[in-house]
Structure 1
Amino acid sequence: MADTDQLVPVPAGLVVDSLWFLDSCGDDEVDPDSAVKMAESLTHVLTQLPSEQLNRFLQVLEGLAEAEPDPGRREFLESFPFACGLVEEPER
């Protein structure tokens, strides 16, 4: 189990980076309709995870954000759960 658990950050990071790429691309790089469809599809899959898997995914994102040296990617990692509707925005 430990070997599998160590692999979890890799696909989690790939999912986030895929959405970050789609979010940051210009219309001349990726068709906007295609980008939205892909983002919605990825988000839908994440929202369908069983609660245990979703909680693990969120823990991994938190760890990735804490370790991320790039401020832009760190901010995206931190906002990802809220932007995708995986968790509610904390009240201020």
Structure 2
Amino acid sequence: MNCWETAFMPVYSSLTHALTAVLVDVLWFIEGSEDEQMDPDDAVKVLEGVAHLVSKLSSDQRSELIGLLGTMAEAETDPARREFLEGFPEGFGLLDAV
């Protein structure tokens, strides 16, 4: 195998998993940002926007997202980030209608 081949091998099992990882990374950054790094009002708008978006997911989509978050939490070695992942479903309203 050439070195360039490893760059094209999928890191995630699905596009949904990849996009969930990106979403978590962005939200983790926002949650951990100081007021000097990001305007608190803007942070709240983003977090509320995500909560609204996930509230529109179908039951199957919510279940899939909750499962992915659980898998990611199990694999996470950073305790603070693992706690964030474990709290994500409740914090963003995924459990409200599942």
Shorter-normalised TM range: 0.7 to 0.9
Q: Which residue of 2 aligns with 1:54?
A: 62
Q: 2:83 aligns with which of 62, 72, 75?
A: 75
The CA deviation at 1:41 is 0.5
Mapping of 1:16-31 within 5 angstroms? 16-31=24-39
1:57 counterpart SS class: helix
Partner letter of residue 44 of structure 1? H
Partner letter of residue 90 of structure 2? F
Give structure 1 stretches of 5+ with no counterpart: none
2:36 counterpart SS class: coil
Q: 1:44 aligns with which of 45, 52, 60?
A: 52
Give structure 2 stretches of 5+ with no counterpart: 1-9
Q: Which residue of 2 aligns with 1:84?
A: 92
Contact 1:65 1:77 in 2 (8 A): yes
- 8-17 vs 59-68, greater mean Cα deviation: 8-17
TM-score by length of 2: 0.79
Contact 1:65 1:78 in 2 (8 A): yes
1:87 counterpart SS class: coil
Q: How many residues align?
A: 86
> Following the alignment from structure 1 to structure 2, what is the Cα–Cα distance between the partners of residues 68 and 28?
28
TM-score by length of 1: 0.84
The CA deviation at 1:7 is 2.5
The CA deviation at 1:6 is 2.2
The CA deviation at 1:5 is 5.7
CA RMSD of aligned residues (A): 1.8
